[in-house]
Amino acid sequence: AEEMVRKSELLSVVGQMAAGVAHEIRNPLTSLKGFVQLLQSDANGNEEYFRIMLSELNRIEFIISEFLVLAKPQVVFYQRREIRPLLDDIIMLARTQAIMHNIEIVTLCPPQLPAVMCDENQLKQVFLNLMKNAIESMPDGGVVTVAARQEGGRLHICFTDQGCGIPEELLDRLGEPFFTTKKAGTGLGLMVSYKIVAQHGGDIKVNSRIGEGTSFEVQLPT
């Protein structure tokens, strides 16, 4: 419980910063990107430079948009939604990346799952983040299992991989802004995911074994 308190305090500080800074950065960034794109048509043999500039600008834009999820006030749009079609959507989105990395996605879901009150786009973002992390944990391929079940008043959605696992001493740091062990990671995916799930009145539980795999379980009230 102490850990939960510490994390939510951290989130509110980061959230306040994000609210101020992210909005301010976004506008000049958009105009910068527009002009780079404009000049690209006249690149004169410098196409590679322009490609790099745009890809770096896209990365900044991505980080800003992740941060904006934390910004308050936030427009969240809660509706009663079936979870199965939502999961199917993100599995389809992840499939291309999965195939490229020799990864099979297995779904274990009963045909009928209860609906939950949620902001559909935000939940999709959570599921995609967890799916992406699962895929990235298995550079040599493997299986990602997406399992959903109802238990008590809660819906449990579990993403299990057969990847590298997370060392015990790092478990506490999951969800910390910019905590990443990846070369090109942002360390924002889990922070955003924890925040969204908490706003939905839910929880994320982690189970991991080094060399065997990791399982992230999202629990949502139904």
Where does this chain bind ligand ADP (CB under 6 A)? 129, 133-134, 137, 161, 163-164, 166, 174, 179-182, 185-190, 214
- Nearest of 111, 102, 113, 74 to residue 192 by alpha carbon: 74
Stretch that binds Mg ion, among 26-34, 37-45, 72-80, 187-195 (CB under 5 A): 187-195
Name the 3-class secondary structure at 149.
strand
Smallest distance from the beta carbon of 80 to Mg ion, in angstroms? 29
- In the numeric block, the tokens 């740091």 are attached to 173
Q: How far apart are CA 102 and CA 193, in angstroms?
A: 26
Give yes or no for residue 202 binding Mg ion (CB under 5 A). Answer: no
Nearer to Mg ion (CB atom), residue 133 or residue 162: 133
Nearer to ligand ADP (CB atom), residue 113 or residue 134: 134
Q: What angle do CA 15, 222, 105 make, to 5 degrees?
A: 80
Nearer to Mg ion (CB atom), residue 113 or residue 163: 163
Out of Mg ion, ligand ADP, none, what residue 180 binds, judged by CB under 5 to 8 A for its kind, is ligand ADP
Nearer to ligand ADP (CB atom), residue 167 or residue 201: 167
One-letter amino acid at 8 equals: S
Stretch that binds Mg ion, among 28-36, 54-62, 183-191, 195-203 (CB under 5 A): 183-191
> Which of 133, 137, 162, 219 lies at the binding interface for Mg ion (CB under 5 A)?
133
Q: How far apart are CA 68 and CA 129, in angstroms?
A: 16
Q: How far apart are CA 146 and CA 91, in angstroms?
A: 9
Smallest distance from the beta carbon of 204 to ligand ADP, in angstroms? 11
Query: According to DSSP H, which parts of the chain are helical?
Result: 2-40, 47-68, 83-100, 120-136, 168-171, 189-199
Judged by the rule CB under 5 A, the positions of this chain that interact with Mg ion are 133, 189
